[in-house]
Amino acid sequence: MMAYLLRRVGWMFVILFGVATVTFFVAYMVPGDPARMIAGPGASAATIDSIRHQLGLDQPAARQYIDYMGRLVTGNLGISFLHRVPVLTAIFQRLGTTVLIALGGVFWELAIGIPVGIAAAWKPRSIWDRAGTAFALLGLSAPPFWLGLLLLYYLAFQHSIFPLGGVGHPLLWYLILPTFTLGIGGAAWYTRMLRSSMLEILRSPYMQMARAKGMPSRILLWRHAMPNAVIPLITMAGMDLGYFLGGVLIIEVVFGIPGVGQQAWQAVQVLDIPMIMGTVLIAAVFIVLMNVIVDLSYALFDPRIRYR
């Protein structure tokens, strides 16, 4: 187990290194002159040069790369052009809201996906199954931003059940529509996965045997089929948490929520490179971390993996 852990964490650092390198290259190949952008219009050439020197932009690429990696290790993601504050600080300030949304998304994913998936698998080809499958297909096919708009239009505008975007008190109430929109796509996916894996389990020889021996179907469903099918889903949801932190951008823009995504979006408008790439980097790091955590927890539960 120890060996597996070390190996996995080792690869994690390799991947993170790769991620940081890619991020550097993207930031590096930006057209335009960051020094000029920071200096602002009308600045003298001398000012621009001094800023350029301060930022180390007049160094050769290799040197900039090493400096960049060095800064990363100390947690310095640069200064936002727009806000003039360290990128990392700005991100962490807004991280709370965004993480809440991501968690909410995972909640809805599981809260909807699991029951609908089970209902669909329980009676294949019944009305439940067809409705569940239809729901899943639609959920997969609808663009999240459009769905969000639709919900806002009908549930917040036409009928003022929910607030029309933004945040306020109580926070969770404001987050219901956004998290639901975020989670629907995943819910659709999980419905399908759960349905097919449960059907596979229910059809397996050992299930047929149990049924032939007279075990009531309900016990079969709840005690045997469901746990086996659901556990992988929970771990997948863990990985989704990582991915959501990136995908949350659209949701925040649609619903006007001041989170990390919205901040990144504002940065894109003005080409605030440090903020953009800093956000991308943080999101990637989260994804990698969540993947490692999920893999390790798999290894904890399934001894076969450790010996691979």
Partner 1 sequence: MLSSGPELSDRSAVAPESGTRGETPVMLSRWSLLLRSLLHDPPALAGAVVVLVLLIVAVFGSLLAPHNPYTGFGNGLSKIGAPLPPGGRFPLGTDPNGRDVLSRLIFGARISLTIGVAANGIATLIGLLVGLVAGYIGGWVDTVLMRLTDVVMAFPILLFAIALIAVTGPSETNVILVIAFLYWTYVARVIHGMVLSLKEREFVTATRTLGISGRRIMFRHIVPHLVPALIVYFTLGVASTILIEASLSYIGIGVPVPIPSWGQMIAQGQDYYQIAPWLFIFPGIALVATVLAFNLVGDWLRDVLDPTTPQKR
Partner 2 sequence: MRTVERGAPSPTLVRVEDLEVHFPVRRSAFGPKSGVVRAVDGVSFQLRAGDVLGLAGESGSGKTTVARAMLRITDPTGGRVVMDSLDISKLGRAELKRFRRRMQMVYQDPYDSLNPRLKIGTTLEEALMVRGVRPSERTNGVRHLLERVGLSGAYALRYPHELSGGQRQRVSIARALGVEPSVIVCDEAVSSLDVSVRAQILNLLRDLQETERLSLLFISHDLSTLRFIADRVAIMYLGQVVEIGGREDLFDRPLHPYTLALLAAVPEPVPRSQRRPVARLTGEVPSALQPPGGCRFHPRCPIAEDICREVVPELRRKAAGHLAACHLVPDAPPIGVP
Work out the burial of residue 199: count CB atoms within 10 Å of its CB; fewer than 13 is exposed, 13-18 middle, 19 or more buried. Answer: middle
Site residues for partner 1, 98-127, by CB under 8 A, read: none
- DSSP state at residue 276: H
User: Binding pattern to partner 1, positions 140-179, x when CB under 8 A?
Assistant: xxxxxxx--xx-xx---x----------------------
Alpha helices (runs of H) in the chain, residue ranges in sequence order: 2-28, 34-39, 45-54, 61-73, 87-122, 127-141, 144-151, 171-203, 205-212, 217-219, 226-255, 260-270, 273-301, 303-306
**Of 8, 36, 224, 306, which one interacts with partner 2 (CB under 8 A)?**
306
Which of these segments, 2-10, 53-61, 120-128, 214-222, binds partner 2 (CB under 8 A)?
2-10
Query: Which SS3 state, helix, strand or coil, does residue 79 take?
Result: strand
**Phi and psi at residue 85, in whole multiples of 5°?**
-125, 160
Q: Does 273 bind partner 1 (CB under 8 A)?
A: yes
User: Binding pattern to partner 1, positions 215-254, x when CB under 8 A?
Assistant: ----------------------------x-xxx-xx--x-
Q: Does 7 bind partner 2 (CB under 8 A)?
A: yes
**Of 283, 294, 295, 299, which one interacts with partner 1 (CB under 8 A)?**
283
Question: Residue 92 touches which of partner 1, partner 2, none (CB < 5 to 8 A by kind)?
Answer: none
Q: How far apart are CA 281 and CA 135, in angstroms?
A: 34
Q: Which two tokens stand for residue 214?
A: 């007279």
Question: Residue 19 touches which of partner 2, partner 1, none (CB < 5 to 8 A by kind)?
Answer: partner 1
Q: Does 2 bind partner 2 (CB under 8 A)?
A: no
Which position has the token pair 């929910």?
162
Q: How far lies 251's CA from each of 65, 84, 98, 161, 176, in Å?
A: 34, 26, 10, 19, 12
Question: Residue 39 touches which of partner 1, partner 2, none (CB < 5 to 8 A by kind)?
Answer: none
**Of 7, 10, 11, 166, which one interacts with partner 1 (CB under 8 A)?**
11
Q: Site residues (CB under 8 A) for partner 2?
A: 3-4, 7, 306-308
